[in-house]
Structures are given as C-alpha cells and as structure tokens.
A and B are shown apart, each in its own frame.
Chain A
C-alpha cells in the first residue's frame, strides 16, 4: 500500500464510523429507552427491559395513540392519492402539450411553494372555522394537497420529459385521446417517478406539524406528530418509556418505507431538487 492509500483507508474508516454513530445514535437511544422500564438508568444504574411500554401505548385508550396513528395514515394516504392524480395530469399538460402558458404555470406553482407555512395557516384557521372544518380530516387533507402538490408536479415533470414525445404522437395518430395517452402510455412508463413523488408526499404529510397543531383540536383529527408533541402521560412527569415506544412505532413505518424504497426516494428528491 502506498502512503496515499493508507491515508485514504484511515479516513474512510474514521468517517464511516462517525457516520454510523452520528446517524444511528439517537435512533438507537430511542429504541433503548422504549424497551427500558425507567429512563434514568444512566444515573441510578437499575434497569429492566421489556415490551411493556409498547403494550401500554397500544392498549391504553386514554393515550389515543391508535387514533393518532390511524388519522395520520388516512390523511397521508388520501393526500398522496389525490396529489398524484392532480399533479400527474398537470405535469402531463405542462410537459407534453402545446398551449399558451405552459412555461408560466410550473414557475407560478413553484413560486407558491415559496410561502412559509406560517403565512398560510392563520388564514386557513379562519377559513376552516367559518366552514366548520376545524378538527376534521378534511382540515388537514385540503391544505396538505395544496402544500405538497408543487413538488409532486416538478418531480413528475422531470420524469415525463424523459419519455420520448414520439410516443404521444404515435398514440394520438392511433386514435387515443389525451386522457388515454396519459393513463395508457405515460402513467405506466413514468410509474417509478410517480411512485417516488407519491412516497415523498406521503412522508411529508406524515411528518407535518404546524398545520396539524393549528387546525385540529383533539384525537378525532390530530395526527401522530401532534399526539407525540403533546404527549404528557397520565400524571405530571413525562413518561419517557411510553413516549419513546410511541416514537418508535411512529418512526418504524417511515424507516421501513425509506429502506425498501430508498432508490425511489433518492430519485424523487433529486428530481425535485435539481429541477426546482
């Protein structure tokens, strides 16, 4: 080995180890505490491990953990489906049809996504109060659609433009309507891209907090992040074991999704970032 190769190996080893510790440390700590019967064992030195925290979180009705979880899943899933539908239709028109405004629309939508959530949420609260929507699933689904659709549009656009235009022309010549071209030709071919945009939308909604805490009141509509942020346990002192178990359960679907569909997520982030 040359001197340069030795330096390189050492650097890789050290950085790799650091990366592992840095990224996994807090995650492991979360899991560890969730399995322990007490959170202060570093000081007291006494600890027993069991799954009882998980059992309590999943069974104690007063914690409403399962309500939060199902709210989150419903809201995120419905949003992802609607956003996928709307954004792929718009992306199709913008990337493959000739009409005045085709270059303006995506930029306009991108500009809309520049507004911070805080500059929307106050007025949304007043709108939804008047409409009686506060504390309903709708109160989150509607703003989530509008909030995530710009990025979905850009990701889908970047995938659609990779499909040769001749395919559309051929399909039109073969007598297909634009709608049919979209769902028979473009949709199947851009499926990986559409899937990654849907996944990113789902994750964004699952994680969202500001809208969720402003526009909901109780467990009938509150999502997991709100539930976990407000988690106080039954009496005073924060029940860290329960909380970390709830956190672990909330993270696991996302971590698994991420690990399985890593390729799509990275592709989606790239598509959105490089174009956006």
Chain B
C-alpha cells in the first residue's frame, strides 16, 4: 500500500550517502563556529578574568556593559562609521559601475584595475593609509595643503573627526570594488532594447539613468549594501592599525571593544561584547530585509 509517511519517500542508501557527503562540513562548522558561539554566550554569564576563579554572575556583565559609556561610544561610532562608509560605497559603486558598463577604449584595463584594492590585504592597505595620513610627511597633508584646500596640516589620526574620516576613506577604497562588481553584473542584466526603446521615446541620458537604470538596479544595490553593512558592523583590522581605537577611545568599534576585553584577559566581558555585537548586526540585517522586502529575493 502507498504510505503517507514523509520519510518513506526517500531511498535509504541515498539518504545515508548524502549525509556522509555533508558530515565533514557540518562537523567543522559545528565544532569551530556553533560550539564557540554557544560557548561565548555561556562565558558571557561568568566573571571570567584570568587571575580570578570563574564565577557565575548571571546578566551582570550585560548590565555593566550597557551602563558603560565606552559601550555607547563604540556603538555610536560603529553605526556612524557604517552609515558613512556604506553611503559613500553606494555612491562610488554606482558611479564606477556605470562607467565600466559603457563601451570605450581602455574599459578592459579599468575593469582589472578596479580589483586591485580588493586584492590587497586589509592590513597592508591600512599600513599604507597610515603612511598616507602621516602628519608631517604624509602625502595626504602634502596634497591638501599644497592645493590650498586648507592652510594648516590636518592631524588625521590624532583628532576625532580626522580619524573618523581617515577610517571611512580607507574602508571605501578597499571595499568599493566589491560593490562595483555586483552592480556591474546587475547593469549587464538590464536588456539593451529597453534603452533603445527609451531613446526612441525621447528620454535623454540623465532621464534614462534615473527612470530606467536606477530602478532596475535597485534590488542588486540593496543586496550589495546589505553585504557591506554586515561587514562594516564587524570592522576591526583598520581600527587596529590606523587608530588603535584612539584618539581617546573615540574610534573603537564594537569588535574592537570586544578584542580589547579579550586582550586584557577579561573573557567574560569580551564574550558579552561579542554577543551584543552579533545581536546588533543581526537586528540591523533584519531591519534591512524587512524594509526592502528582499527576503524572497534572497532565496
């Protein structure tokens, strides 16, 4: 008789083979992602400082964290940094993608060149930017002073605003190529005959851009920005090299705050910061998905 059992429709040896194929992946991810994540949550409930015995403190780490000005400063900075960086990346991303989608001599070269910032390790680029921002002999000050934009050298990494701008610029340089690549693919998917139809209908260059290109590019743009947002919210390496969280702790991201706690052997607090970082990133992703109703398209 035909059976209604859900599992009965599968062939046993096929199912077994399938799970054997998946097992290594699940095992690795389970041990080195899932267990540490759960472990981090567990540790966040303890007073776990290396020179003291471990002690269960419930949510005290969380209340401590939420009442510390350092945390709110880091949260504010992380969000401001993310908004600034992602906005600029969207702007430059659209600009460069539009350029690379046009037909002109040298396009092939530019399409390759755009990948260079992406390929250079973040730490290497951070060190390079550090030199560029050097107060006395960095090229940034050389350029802004000699071009007459400002009269005095700017202390890029030593002032709050300077450090903020320096970090954002370095991040935009490094990650815009990623946005460009995704947008370029989106542009190439727009059929050419729509543009020809629009030309026939009398739409000019700029009108074609904001009536056809931009709306049709929107889904891809949002997807790429979600990626960039998730990434920016956990930013760490640029801060480590360029500012070390300074000046005066003004450029600590949430990840950096967690790292500092770990580096000071305060594992309980470090874990708490980590859990909160994840929750923040997760919440913002959800908001993004809800707002753009892109949950269907991601499937």
Contacts and interface: CB of A to CB of B under 8 A. Distances in A.
A and B touch in the complex (CB under 8 A): yes
Interface of A: 4, 7-8, 11-12, 15-16, 19-20, 22-24, 26-27, 29-30, 33, 39-44, 85-87, 89-90, 92-94, 97-100, 102, 105, 109, 112-127, 142-143, 145-147, 149-150, 153, 178, 182, 203, 206-207, 209-210, 213-214, 224-226, 228-229, 231, 240, 243-244, 247, 250-251, 254-255, 257-259, 262, 265-266, 269-270, 273-274, 276
24 contacts: A8-B102, A15-B95, A16-B104, A26-B173, A29-B131, A39-B131, A39-B137, A42-B139, A86-B24, A89-B24, A109-B25, A114-B285, A116-B234, A118-B259, A118-B273, A120-B33, A120-B40, A146-B31, A149-B25, A153-B25, A228-B127, A229-B126, A258-B118, A269-B182
Interface residues of B, number: 96
B123 A90 contact: no
A207 B122 contact: yes
Given A42-B137, A100-B10, A102-B18, A146 B29 contact: yes
Nearest to B13: A178
Give the most central of A19, A124, A153: most B CB within 10 Å. A19
A224 B11 CA distance: 49
B65 interface: no
B282 interface: yes
A20 B113 CA distance: 7
B37 A120 contact: yes
A251 B126 CA distance: 12
Interface stretch (B160-168, B210-218, B222-230): B222-230
B173 to A, nearest CB: 6
Interface string B124-142: 1111110110101101001
Contacts of A142: 28, 31-32
A97 B15 CA distance: 8
B110 interface: yes
Given A97-B14, A112-B29, A251 B121 contact: yes
Nearest to A12: B104
Given A23-B117, A119-B274, 16 more contacts: A15-B98, A29-B139, A99-B10, A112-B33, A114-B282, A116-B234, A116-B255, A120-B40, A121-B274, A123-B37, A147-B32, A225-B237, A226-B123, A255-B116, A255-B120, A273-B227
B119 A254 contact: yes
B234 A273 contact: no
Contacts of A265: 115
Contacts of A26: 117, 125, 128-129, 132, 173
B19 A146 contact: no
B25 A86 contact: yes
B29 A209 contact: no
Contacts of A20: 110, 113
B270 interface: yes
A206 B181 CA distance: 21
Given A16-B106, A119-B277, A269-B178, A150 B29 contact: yes
B21 interface: yes
B233 interface: yes
Contacts of A112: 29, 33-34
Nearest to B39: A123
Interface in B77-131: 92, 95-96, 98-99, 102, 104, 106, 110-129, 131
